[in-house]
Structure 1
Amino acid sequence: MNKQDQSIHSEATVSVSVSDLQALIAGSAPLIVDVRRKEARATSGRDMPGAIWRDPEHWLQWKDDIASRGIPLVLACAHGQEISQGLTTVMRVMGADARFLEGGIAAWIEAGGATVAAGTANTD
């Protein structure tokens, strides 16, 4: 495995904490991609401001558009587990600078991160 492959697969470069994301947003903000299932998003009732929502059930339809944007990505699901981690891997394999949010949107909300009413996130 070459040095580039090691950095892509390094756990330290694959996730971002809530506090680190807050610092990133204060600077040059990454594209935050909300990948919660429809039901989890509706149950929460909250979105992250500036995030775009993509239905994880239809990831094959949107993966190319998101991966090719050429900007850092942070994928956030409900709890930062299977969905965001799996889709982060897909984005990274496609060459994107992608990370998943540790603890997901639940951790963001618990830490007092800003939110807006669900359904107001972009679906551009």
Structure 2
Amino acid sequence: MDPTNARDLASEPYGVSADAVGLVADRLRIDVRRRPVFEQAPTLLPGARWHDPADVAGWVATLPTDRPVLVYCVHGHAVSRGVLLQLRAAGIDASFLLGGIDGWPAGGFPLAVQQAAAWSGSTAPAAGPPQ
């Protein structure tokens, strides 16, 4: 976290570490890695669904308002924190994964293989059943 960065300061209270994810297992998992990164990645968190971080306004209304959300990017820095703040501003109970997807396996948690199904637009198919 950069203590001089307003985004980091505003988002820090909503960070969840991989070892505490069990406490928020009911959260809807949203992968917000940038499109080129997501398209090249072979894995994502189990049960996650990708949404384009460049188009939060285009998909935020599709999220359930009665279920909390966990967003993650590669490292848990700029992308997920920026999306988190937009979701919270829209009234969504959102948190972000500290360390991003790169920190997930370090906590001993499995990753899911992306489905080969074609996708387009601002969302992609989920990988496996929600965990």
TM-score range, shorter chain: 0.7 to 0.9
* Number of the residue aligned with 2:111: 115
* Number of the residue aligned with 1:18: 18
The 5 A counterparts of 1:75-90 are 75-90=71-86
Point out where structure 2 has 5 or more consecutive residues left out of the alignment: 1-9, 117-124
Aligned residue for 2:70, secondary structure, equals strand
Counterparts of 1:20 and 1:103 in 2: how far apart (Å)? 12
Counterparts of 2:50 and 2:105 in 1: how far apart (Å)? 16
User: Are the equivalent residues in 1 in contact too, given 2:56–2:86 (CA < 8 A)?
Assistant: no
User: What CA deviation, in whole Å up to 9, does each residue of 1:68-119 have, x standing for no partner?
Assistant: 4321111111110111101111111111111110010110123231211124
* Residue 58 of structure 1 pairs with residue 59 of structure 2: no
Number of aligned pairs?
Answer: 110
Point out where structure 1 has 5 or more consecutive residues left out of the alignment: 1-8
TM-score normalised by L of structure 1: 0.77
Aligned match of 1:46 in 43, 47, 56? Answer: 43
Which residue identity is paired with 1:23?
L
Which residue identity is paired with 2:96?
F
Counterparts of 1:92 and 1:59 in 2: how far apart (Å)? 11
Q: 1:10: how far off? A: 7.1
Counterparts of 1:69 and 1:34 in 2: how far apart (Å)? 18
The verdict on how the C-alpha distance between 1:53 and 1:97 changes in structure 2, with shifts beyond 3 A counting, is same
Counterparts of 1:63 and 1:16 in 2: how far apart (Å)? 21
User: Are the equivalent residues in 2 in contact too, given 1:42–1:118 (CA < 8 A)?
Assistant: no
